[in-house]
Amino acid sequence: MSTLKKLKTVFTAFKKQHRPILTNACIDKDGLHITDLETFITIKNTFDLSKGLHPLNTITLLNKPISEDDSEFPCKMFSLGIIASYTVSVKQLEELEVHTSKDETRMHLNCIAFDKNDIVACDGHTLKNIKSLIHELPEHEQTFLIPRTVIKHIIKLAKIYKLNEVELKFSEEHVTINTNNFIVSGRLLIRDYVKWCNVLPNEESLTECFTVNQFINLKNLKPLFNIRGTCKLFSKDGKVYLTPCESVGSGEEFEIGTSDKDFEIGFNVNLLNRVLTERELKVRYINATSPCAIFNKNTVTVIMPLKL
């Protein structure tokens, strides 16, 4: 498949715009440009397309611009006055993105926060914190909030061009990624982030734990769960089991790990699917209603339980 056809997954997000000119890609000597005024993307390749404005709906089929006049297409936006930069793996961005909120009423939770040496995503139900060494630049106190939509564009482009990591450069209002093949410049959300440090448990304070050592793709088990998607983790005879609550199926129990103590904790199965991403995990907790945490090298993942 040609690179241009692979880029259709990126173009899709830009097709539905209120301003007709933004439903086009602009081709000039620097490459192919698309924008929704919040995110500007430049692909450093013209793909032998003619100069001008090409409809995104047909750009992979026709080399026929609707206009050679691109003077009204919004100017490319790049960050100026870089005050910080981070090198982050694409895998880390993917892991963080699933913990961002899709609820538009709390826009700050739709973002990934870069807070000095910490990268954080939280939607109010789960939280993921990754330690990341910031590239030392002039001191700053700002927490940078990258909207989820910008992150998704970065992930898609990085996968298309087979990049394992990207360097994010921040100014006060924008983030920019400039690679050999593309440039992404996105507007930051200027707003206070949640005081995530206050909800991050101390590992030593979580006195109880159990081990998950058998990976189960919970998405495949969805038909077994009720409309709320509630499930229960419990232990008996030293083994940990997962079972649907108020099951519409057989009420089957799935063995997923081991525990020295008996316990019973309820979870939302969709949230549990976010955090059980490895085959060998230790889940720490205090009791059945307190936050549960997974500590793994430089990463902490927190999930709130449900009251059974």
pLDDT of residue 213: 82
pLDDT for 146: 96
Nearest to 33 by CA among 198, 235, 182: 182
Per-residue pLDDT, 248: 47
| Fold category of 84-197 in CATH | DNA Polymerase III; Chain A, domain 2 (3.10.150)
- At 185, list the tokens: 């410049």
Query: Which of these, 235, 231, 228, 227, lies nearest to 218 by C-alpha position?
Result: 231
Q: How many CB atoms within 10 Å of residue 121?
A: 27
Q: Which residues of the chain have pLDDT under 70?
A: 1, 76-79, 133-140, 215-228, 246-251
Answering whether pTM is above 0.85, one says yes
> Is the domain covering 201-303 a CATH 3.30.70.3040 domain?
no
CATH 3.10.150.10 range(s) for the chain read 84-197, 201-303
- Four-point Cα dihedral 217, 223, 228, 232, nearest 10: -50
Measured between alpha carbons, how far is 213 from 186 in angstroms, rounded to an integer? 39
